[in-house]
């Protein structure tokens, strides 16, 4: 099957079983302090898994765009990608194990057409220390499902991954693993879970490609082996426990199902090919690269570069469509690294650089757009087409200049005796790829300690990640009173900027703490002193007018008709939360919105009345700067006059 076929059949299969199809959230998290990007299908649904009612009901299904930056270095084998789609279905207090496992098994065998003889599954072995029992129910359900296909499913105990390499398959079909493999919570294993954290056992499904076991990974093969024979294609998490104050586990009032399945991996299994880069999404890109480079994908010396270019350009295309732009910090840095790394490996393939107003990388992006526009129509708009291809081409040209500067610095360092610290400086300061440093160093007979470089990079990444969590958390740093005041002030400021500067002003990012707010917005010129003063005056005026702040749940189409503001590139569900500031009397009819000062898509929290902002002080803009072409940034605070 093609990627589009698997996605469509999955969504329709679960819709026929009472699930509501919800749209993918954007790659940029909304008010999530934990990560720069959405990295799993369940991440946007955490509030509902914790008990908040979902406006679309208690049976949901979607295909979620996901990105994992930690997998960048892993790309190059036959299974790792940075961007992927996670097929997901959820039961919020509705069905549980007895329904979920047959749902997924039926989809794989009856819809995708996978041979059940090639499916192997896992279950939670139990945790005596934390008094959490073995998941015998999942094992029993799986036994019946395999039996229905004429397969005698032997249950075997494994325990740890190391035990798996020691014990091997033992003719098993259902494998019990410990918590590190078959338990899910946001904090990891049970003993790491804080009070109030939900979690539970999970059950994974693996597809057996039948390839020969590689002994370098361990003495024996088992489902969680990394040799390539087995590929995990889906995982059903059963969130049924909560950590109690005394450290023990109790049952949640509602038991949830959180399923995630790799779309690309299921498609690869349907083809019987363990190489996800042989699925249709990557085919045309690789063919294009082969045509212009003269290299061949099957040439093992080139395969890794083909995969890196194809993966990184798909990921970059989706990031750009969700409003991320190349920069030297946060999300922009990740995007810049993807494009430049793709450009580096394009050079390794021998691809020509000068293509006039575009490059082969931007042509790869056009292929991605064409492949995905039916599922994600926002990719197919003329503006998206222009922005995505022009940003890639611009970044590629800048990378060419960076390489020139990096080569000069490399020669200086090489003359003095290049070491791991020098390689680190080349990479972080000049954007000079480490792989290129190693190749050039080898040509000159210079040895660079790779372990030292990796250790230096890890320290750098840990510091960057910590800094990112402090300064850019996808929205709100917390739900404190001070942060909440500034969050509502942020809404007032956006509207004030539109009044002062024009309707072209759109939000392009935000970060709000208890100390200050920060807003990124579209505008092409530095604000004058008068413009900043006028924006301040409007915000303070609305604060002291004591306007009510009203939350409404509307269909997305209704909110859009009301011209409700929202962040550029963000995608929203069919039912959205909208906050309106003013008027003084509220009804459930649209006229209240006509009189409102500000209307925005937003999940909250907010003050109930703008007078509560004034209690924190007078609104003051303390900084205004450019952060990218056509994007300005304002920082503002509440100043207490006492």
**Which CATH number covers residue 603?**
3.30.980.10
CA 166-168-169 angle, to 5 degrees, is: 165
DSSP 439: H
CATH number at residue 61: 3.30.930.10
Dist. CA 559–CA 557, nearest whole Å = 5
| Among 526, 555, 478, CA closest to 633 | 526
Pair (305, 432) in one structural domain: yes
- Centre a 10 Å sphere on the Cβ of residue 458 and count the other Cβ atoms it contains: 10
In a domain, 359, yes or no: yes
Edge-first strand listing for the sheet containing 575-581: 549-555, 575-581, 598-601
Any idea which residue has 């079983």 for tokens? 17
List, in sequence order, every beta strand (DSSP E) within 400-527.
Answer: 507-512, 517-522
Rounded CA-CA distance 54/202 in Å is 23
This prediction's pTM: 0.71
Residues in the chain: 642
With a cut of 70, list the residues of the chain below it in pLDDT.
Answer: 31-34, 353-358, 460-479, 567-572, 583-594, 641-642
Say if residue 96 is in the same domain as residue 206: yes
For residues 156 and 174, give the distance between their C-alpha atoms in angstroms, rounded to a whole number. 6
Q: How far apart are CA 500 and CA 228, in angstroms?
A: 59
Is residue 308 a part of any domain in this protein?
Answer: yes
The CA-based diameter of the chain, rounded to the nearest angstrom, is 79
Please indicate, yes or no, whether residues 529 and 422 belong to a single structural domain of this protein: no
Q: Domain for residue 266, yes or no?
A: yes
Q: Which of 471, 493, 511 is the last residue of a domain?
A: 471
CA–CA separation, 88 and 266 (whole Å): 13
Claim to verify: residue 287 and residue 413 sit in the same structural domain: yes
Three-state DSSP state, 231 = strand
Residues 64 and 24 placed together within one structural domain of the fold = yes
Q: Are residues 64 and 139 in the same domain?
A: yes
- Do 267 and 284 belong together in one domain? no
> What is the model's pLDDT at position 585?
40
| Domain annotation covers residue 597 | yes
DSSP for 498-555 reads HHHH-TT--EEEEEE-SS-EEEEEE-SSPPPHHHHHHHHHHHHHHHHTT-BEEEEEEE
Residues 180 and 322 in one domain: no
423, 437 contact by CB (below 8 A): yes
Q: Does 451 map to a domain?
A: yes
How many domains does the structure of the chain reveal?
Answer: 3
107, part of any domain: yes
Q: Hey, what are 465's tokens?
A: 């990640």
Find tokens 């042989």 and name the residue.
278
Report yes or no on 514 lying in a domain.
yes
The residue with tokens 């045309």 is: 284
Here the tokens at position 327 are 């920069």
* Coil/strand/helix, residue 275: coil
**Residues 39 and 79 occupy one common structural domain:** yes
CB environment 505-537: b (16+ within 10 A), e (fewer): bbbbbbbbbbebbbbbbbbeeebeeebbebbbe
Alpha helices, H only, 161-209 = 161-167, 179-182
Torsion on CA atoms 299, 302, 308, 310, rounded to nearest 10: -60
With beta carbons less than 8 A apart as the criterion, state whether 465 and 612 touch: no
441 neighbors 448 (Cβ within 8 angstroms): yes
In a domain, 476, yes or no: no
Output the pLDDT for position 47.
81
Q: Which of 259, 274, 289 is the last residue of a domain?
A: 274
Residue 56 structure tokens:
């679309």
292 and 235 part of one domain:
no
Contact 145, 197 (CB under 8 A): no
Are 232 and 206 in contact, with CB atoms under 8 Å apart?
yes
DSSP conformation class of 75: B
Quick one: CA torsion of 617, 622, 628, 629, rounded to 10 degrees?
100
Domain co-membership, 174 together with 212: yes
Assess whether 288 and 403 both reside in one domain: yes
- Among residues 471, 506, 537, the one where a domain terminates is 471
Q: Which residues pair with 21 in a beta bridge?
A: 61
Distance CA 86, CA 42 (A): 9
Which range of residues forms the domain containing residue 453? 279-471
Contacts of 54 (CB under 8 A, 6+ apart): 45, 48, 60, 92
Q: To 10 degrees, the CA torsion angle through 559, 561, 565, 567? A: 80
Task: Report in angstroms the alpha-carbon separations of 289 from 175, 308, 315, 361.
Answer: 42, 12, 17, 9
């Amino acid at each position: 099957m093609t990627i589009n076929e698997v996605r469509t059949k999955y969504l329709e299969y679960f819709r026929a079983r009472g699930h509501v199809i919800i749209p993918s959230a954007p790659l940029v998290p909304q008010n999530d302090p934990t990560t720069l990007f959405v990295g799993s299908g369940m991440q946007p649904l955490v509030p509902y898994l914790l008990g908040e009612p979902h406006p679309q009901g208690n049976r949901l299904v979607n295909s979620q765009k996901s990105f994992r930056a930690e997998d960048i270095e892993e790309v190059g084998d036959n299974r790792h990608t940075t961007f992927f789609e996670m097929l997901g279905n959820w039961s919020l207090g509705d069905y549980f194990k007895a329904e979920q496992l047959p749902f997924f098994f039926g989809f794989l065998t009856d819809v995708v057409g996978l041979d059940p003889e090639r499916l192997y599954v896992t279950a939670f072995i139990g945790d005596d220390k934390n008094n959490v029992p073995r998941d015998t129910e999942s094992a029993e359900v799986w036994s019946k499902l395999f039996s229905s296909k004429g397969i005698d499913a032997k249950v075997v105990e494994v325990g740890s991954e190391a035990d798996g390499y020691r014990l091997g398959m033992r003719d098993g079909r259902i494998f019990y693993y410990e918590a590190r493999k078959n338990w899910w919570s946001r904090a990891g294993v049970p003993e790491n879970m804080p009070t109030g954290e939900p979690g539970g056992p999970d059950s994974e499904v693996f597809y057996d490609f039948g390839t020969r076991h590689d002994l370098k990974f361990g003495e024996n093969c088992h489902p969680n082996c990394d040799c390539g024979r087995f590929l995990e294609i889906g995982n059903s998490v059963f969130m049924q426990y909560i950590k109690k104050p005394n450290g023990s586990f109790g049952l949640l009032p509602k038991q949830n199902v959180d399923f995630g399945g790799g779309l690309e991996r299921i498609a690869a299994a349907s083809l019987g090919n363990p190489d996800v880069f042989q699925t249709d999404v990557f085919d045309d890109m690789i063919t294009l690269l082969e045509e212009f480079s003269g290299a061949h994908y099957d040439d093992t010396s080139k395969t890794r570069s083909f995969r890196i270019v194809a993966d990184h350009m798909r990921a970059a295309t989706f990031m750009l469509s969700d409003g991320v732009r190349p920069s030297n910090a946060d999300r922009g840095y990740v995007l810049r690294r993807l494009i430049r790394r793709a450009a580096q490996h394009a050079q390794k393939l021998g691809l020509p650089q000068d293509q006039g107003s575009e490059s082969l990388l931007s042509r790869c992006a056009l292929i991605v757009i064409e492949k995905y526009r039916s599922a994600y129509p926002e990719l197919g708009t003329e503006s998206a087409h222009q922005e995505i291809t022009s940003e890639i081409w611009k970044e590629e040209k800048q990378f060419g200049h960076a390489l020139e500067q990096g080569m000069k610095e490399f020669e200086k360092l090489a003359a003095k005796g290049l070491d791991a610290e020098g390689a680190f400086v080349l990479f972080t300061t000049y954007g000079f790829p480490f792989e290129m440093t190693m190749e050039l160093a080898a040509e000159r007979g210079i040895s660079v300690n790779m372990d030292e470089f990796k250790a230096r990079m890890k320290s750098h990444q840990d510091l960057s990640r910590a800094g990112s969590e402090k300064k850019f958390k996808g929205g709100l740093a917390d739900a404190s009173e001070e942060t909440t005041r500034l969050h509502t002030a942020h809404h007032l400021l956006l509207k004030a900027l539109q009044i002062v500067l024009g309707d072209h002003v759109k939000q392009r990012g935000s970060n709000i703490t208890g100390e200050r707010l920060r807003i990124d917005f579209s505008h092409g010129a530095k604000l004058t002193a008068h413009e900043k003063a006028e924006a301040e005056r409007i915000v303070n005026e609305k604060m002291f007018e004591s306007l009510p702040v009203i939350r409404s749940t509307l269909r997305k189409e209704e909110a859009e008709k009301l011209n409700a503001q929202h962040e550029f590139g963000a995608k929203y569900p069919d039912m959205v939360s909208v906050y309106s500031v003013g008027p003084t009397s509220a009804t459930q009819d649209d006229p209240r919105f006509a009189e409102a000062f500000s209307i925005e898509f937003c999940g909250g929290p907010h003050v109930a009345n703008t007078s509560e902002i004034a209690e924190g002080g007078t609104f003051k803009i303390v900084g205004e700067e450019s952060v990218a072409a056509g994007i300005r940034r304002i920082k503002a605070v509440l100043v207490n006059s006492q």
